[in-house]
Structure 1
Amino acid sequence: MTKRGDSLEFAVLGLLHESPMHGYELRKRLSGVLGWTRMLSYGSLYPALKKMLRAGWIIEHVEPPAPGAPVSRRQRIVYELTPAGDARFGELMADAGPASWEDDSFDVRFAFFSRTDMEIRLRILEGRRTRLEERLSRVQSQLTRTQQEMDAYTAELQRHGVESVEREVSWLSSLIDAERSRSSKS
């Protein structure tokens, strides 16, 4: 997964792996998976669904309005995972390459960790931690070199960024320790 669209595809397949859903419900659940910082529009969701329909990963069923519903109510389209979509989700779940620990896809991958193999979870967590440690090292050295040139607010923003990455590295380390502890008990 390298682009936001790939993360969206992964998230849709993961949610439909749980159960069929109509577009509104899917969008609502995706907002939870993708996080509050990435608002999902129907303009992003429906083209992604059409792409997955063409690929044969999902199918759609028209759900008629419930008896007694207002006449103006449109029929709902319910999306369901196909065996090919289930296989595609499995492929994406098994991918533990560098794209899986990048900013655009890590949160989505993490949302489905309960269904991810422990070795793959560890590889992704360790890759993410390494990537952030590299970023932290670059930012800290840059901050040291340029701190005299910055105004107080820019320096504070840089310090805040460093602290945020340090917190995430610490969090990732505790998750990795917990994974290793579970694996040694099994």
Structure 2
Amino acid sequence: MHGYELRKRLNLMLGWRSLLSYGSLYPALKKMLRAGWIEEHTVPSTGATSRRPRIVYEPTEAGRAEFIRLMSEAGPSAWEDDNFDIRFAFFSSTDMEIRLRVLEGRRMRLQERLERVQGQLSLTQKEMDRYAAELQRHGVEQVEREVHWLSELIQAERAGTPAPQPPATQA
């Protein structure tokens, strides 16, 4: 794919939580080119609005092997905030045991964070104005929701069934 299409597809896949900018995409593509994980080809433009040729990126065999290697890692870096969303987006390419270890690691990390924040919250509640306290409460609720979601995913993985679907929203 060319850069614009790649960015659009990744943003669609990752959702609103992890919007990818061109300032992040192109340096990452250049790094992957230098490592030999992707190659670029110039193709003529097919649109009527631009005559400029497009650069299309394609994974190499080394790139596919690196993707498989990265998706098989299940240590702490796999469940940290910066990496979890992208790892989760590609879970269909991951072995079930690795998915479980990543989900359980993420849940454990969030539960630790939740305990720490709840402990601090009770100590600092008196010192905060109502907006700072609301922001803290909102953060705790977000982590609690994610822990619940992860627990459902883990249970579904172990049972070999799809995760529960959220109720459809009305337009």
Percent identity of equivalent pairs? 72
Going from structure 1 to structure 2, the CA distance change for 1:70 and 1:153 (only over 3 Å counts) comes to: closer
2:103 is matched with 125
What TM-score do you get using the length of structure 2 for normalisation? 0.88
| TM-aligned CA deviation for residue 72 of structure 1 | 4.8
Q: Which runs of 5+ in 1 are unaligned?
A: 1-20
Matching of residue 107 in structure 1 with residue 88 in structure 2 = no
SS at match of 1:124: helix
Matching of residue 82 in structure 1 with residue 74 in structure 2 = no
1:9-158 equivalences under 5 Å are: 21-66=1-46, 70=48, 72-158=50-136
Between the aligned partners of 1:157 and 1:150, the Cα distance in structure 2 is 10
Which residue, 172, 175, 182 being the options, matches 2:153? 175
Between the aligned partners of 1:57 and 1:148, the Cα distance in structure 2 is 53
SS at match of 2:42: strand
Going from structure 1 to structure 2, the CA distance change for 1:78 and 1:109 (only over 3 Å counts) comes to: same
1:13 is matched with none
Between the aligned partners of 2:29 and 2:160, the Cα distance in structure 1 is 37
Supply the AA of the counterpart residue of 1:24: Y
Runs of 4+ with deviation above 3 angstroms:
69-72
What TM-score do you get using the length of structure 1 for normalisation? 0.81
Output the aligned Cα RMSD. 1.6
Going from structure 1 to structure 2, the CA distance change for 1:71 and 1:132 (only over 3 Å counts) comes to: closer
Supply the AA of the counterpart residue of 2:71: M
Q: Which runs of 5+ in 2 are unaligned?
A: 162-171
Between the aligned partners of 1:146 and 1:134, the Cα distance in structure 2 is 18
Provide, for residues 148-178 of structure 1, a one-character-per-residue CA deviation record: whole Å limited to 9, x for no partner: 2221221111111111111110010000000
Provide, for residues 72-131 of structure 1, a one-character-per-residue CA deviation record: whole Å limited to 9, x for no partner: 521111111100000000110001110110111111111011111000000000000000
Supply the AA of the counterpart residue of 2:128: M
